[in-house]
Each structure stands twice: as C-alpha cells, then as structure tokens.
Amino acid sequence: MPQPTFVTPDLTTFCRLDELGLYAVGQHLSPGGAVLECRVLEPDRWCRKCGCEGAPRDTVPRRLAHEPFGHRPTTLLIRVRRYKCSGCGRVWRQDTSKAAPARAKISRGAVAWGLAGLVLDHLSVSRVAAGLGVSWSAANAAILAEGKRRLIDDPCRFDGVTTIGVDEHVWRHTRKGDKYVTVIIDLTPNRNKAGPARLLDMIEGRSKAVFKQWLAGRPKAWRDGIEVVAMDGFSGFKTAAAEELPDAVPVMDPFHVVRLAGDGLDRCRQRVQQATLGHRGRAGDPLYKARRTLHTGDSLLTDKQRARLETLFGSDEHVEVEATWGIYQCIVAAYREPDTNRGKTMMNAVIDSVTSGVPTALTEIRRLGRTLKQRAADILAFFDHPGTSNGPTEAINGRLEHLRGTALGFRNLSHYIARSLLQAGGFRRHLHPRS
C-alpha cells in the first residue's frame, strides 16, 4: 500500500476555506467556540458599471457560522475589502457569494455539514443548530432549502421507478387538523434486490382523490413505466391506481392480508372469551394467555407453545377459535411457501374455503372471506410478482416514527415532509460516496 504524502499543515486547507474562496490569516480559540479570521482570495477591483479600476477604501467584517471543529462552534470573520471606482465613484465590496449567499449567516460549508448530519447521521435540527452556534430557525431554513435544491427537487429522482407502494401514515397525534398523510414508496430496488426501498413522496390526506391527483401530476411517460402498485385493503388507492395506471398490476401485499386474518382471529378470541366467561381477558384466562401464541406461525411454535394450544383447543368451547386459527395459519403458510406456484395454489384454496360453506357462527371467517373474495386477484398477483410486499413501506413508516421522536414532534407539515424525504428518500449515496 503506497504511503501518503504529507505536506506542511495549512489551516485554510484543513478547514476547507479554499472551497469557499477564502484563506485564513488568524485564529482565536475560546471555551465558547473558535473564530477564524479570513480574507477573500479574489481581489475584485474592477467596477462592474464602467469597467474602471477601483482603489481600496477600507474593510468591513462579515461573520458566518461554519462547520464545527472539535465540537466547537466555528465562526468565520471575513474581512471584506471595499473599493471605490476611480471613474464613476461607485463603491462596492469584494464578492463573497462563493462563501455564502447575500445576507446569509451560515456558510455554504456549514449548510453542507448540517445537511449531511440530517441525512447521514439522522441528527435533529436542534443538534445541528447547537453545533453551528445559530438559532434553530436559521439552521432549519438554510438546511431544508439546500436539501430541496440539491436532493428533493432533483428531476432525476423519479427515474427508473417501476414498482411503487402506497400506504397511509399518521404524522401527528393531535385532535386538531388532519393527522393522516399518504406515503408513496419506490419498491423497485427491493424488488430487483438492488438495495432498500426509498420514500418517493408524501402528500397530505389519505383518500382516493389525493392519490389520484398525485398520479395525474406525474408525466405520462413515468406513469406508463409503472408495472406494479402494492397497497393495503383500502379500495380508494386501488380505484385511483386503476384509473391513472390502467396497465399496472395492483398487488395487495402479504403484510395487510395476514393482518386482516390476524384481526379476525383476535375478534373471534375476544367474542368467545366474552361469551364463555362473561368478561374481557384477564391474566389467568386461557384464551388471554394464548393471545400471542395464536399469532405465531405453526412452523415456529415451540413444544411448550404447542402443548398450550392443544390444551386450549381441547375444550369444545374454543372450537370457533381453533377454526379461525386454522385459516390464519393456512394464509401464513401460503406466503412462507418457497415455491411461488405452490404458494399461489395454497392461497387460492384458502380463498375458496372461506368464501362458501362457512357456518353462520364463524362471523369473523365469513367477514374475512368477503374481503378475500373481493380482492382475490390482487392477493394472488403477489405470487406472480414477488418482492412487491408493502413490508418496506411499513419499515419506512417506522423510520418516520423515529424521526418524529428525534424531533419531539412536528407542527408544520411542510417541514415534516421535507425532513421525511431527507430521512428516508435514499439520498445517502448522493452525500457519501461509500453509502
């Protein structure tokens, strides 16, 4: 391995001031932070109005928050030279736009550091603001604007998308205002085993009109390239996809199908519990003690859990729970079958068994059967398009829950959408070459 070449230490290079068109001439360290005194590299002595050469007049200071070093807020004290034109008498300052936009208080390097902190390290804006030594509002406005410019507003962000997932998400837990948003996920990398899924967009509301309007706003060429849409059991998403993406295959993902069956199993257990004992589940009740074991896949049951279920189903009072549990296990087994053709056959058999000939007493199975019959084509389509589960969508929802916890909640939906896209939009590789 070749040895690195060392050169004389240079504060300008170390602090990357040369990228901002500056060079360091001094430093001042204090317990509260560090101040780097800088000069502008380019003289900028020619008048932009008449073209005459200007004479140096004086200097004015400009302070910019810079990326921290050694956990100390770092400030750039730029001595900006002013010139006076010898021809028209115009006075101007040296151009410092390479260091920061006009009237900005944070350098471009600091904004890039803060953006990397949000995207790569999942820091809160409060932590970034403390590192820069600026207010929360200043850091939030500068970083979100840079994130939108560099990442979110990139027109190539939607390129190559062939599989999308759609789901609802609760963005705040308050009584005031609409608390739901619709999230659209790019499942193409997950389906092609090329990487994790990513958040494409987030829109306010959770209705057919909301999703349909978002799809209609996308270019026709992009809509024509969508092959599969994974969704839950909400019919509004299915109708919107059918109207705007007529050639795409709707897939009801396994997560929500299994959850439908699991919810039916819970309702059956609770109904039988109330009918046999006259009260809700308590610690000593057999049905209540087995509530988690009932949701465990048959192939994953331990000997102790099997013995518990055998004892539970040995009572004639629990026969309805046993029947519902059997349907639940058949659905789980169909999805866990390695052979997709055999899994599809198993699922088709389950749908046929719960849509006809079910006793009236098994109300939960009859209700489940109506749903499965209505969405049978979407459920079976999963086996023809493996890798289109909404599981990654639920995983991203979990990451957004973590984001809300880190930020201690959000009140501004626009800020939440921008932060969510930076958090789960798959932008790591844009900021870090090894991600």
Mean pLDDT by 10 residues, the chain (435 residues): 82 92 92 92 88 89 93 93 89 92 94 94 93 95 95 91 91 81 92 87 92 94 93 89 92 90 95 92 90 92 93 92 95 93 94 90 92 92 85 87 90 93 91 70
Alpha helices in 217-362 (DSSP H): 220-224, 235-244, 254-277, 286-289, 303-313, 319-336, 340-355
Where do the domains of the chain lie? 11-111, 156-253+389-431, 254-384
**Tokens 């109904």 belong to which residue?**
271
45 pairs with which residues across the strands?
none
pLDDT at residue number 7: 83
pLDDT at residue number 1: 67
Sorted by sequence, the CB contacts under 8 Å of residue 398 that are 6+ apart come out as none
- Long-range CB pairs of 290-296 (<8 Å, 24+ gap) are 291/266, 294/265, 294/269, 294/321, 294/325, 294/328, 295/262, 295/265, 295/328
Q: Which two tokens stand for residue 82?
A: 């002013």
pLDDT at residue number 5: 85
Which CATH architecture describes the domain 156-253+389-431? 2-Layer Sandwich (3.30)
pLDDT at residue number 182: 94
Q: Which of 261, 252, 260 is nearest to 388 (CA)?
A: 252
Kindly give the pairing relationship between strand 249-252 and strand 228-231. Answer: parallel
pLDDT at residue number 222: 94
pLDDT at residue number 432: 80
- DSSP code for 150: I
pLDDT at residue number 175: 75
pTM listed for this prediction: 0.84
Determine which helix (DSSP H) or strand (DSSP E) holds 184, and give its type and residue range. Answer: strand 180-186
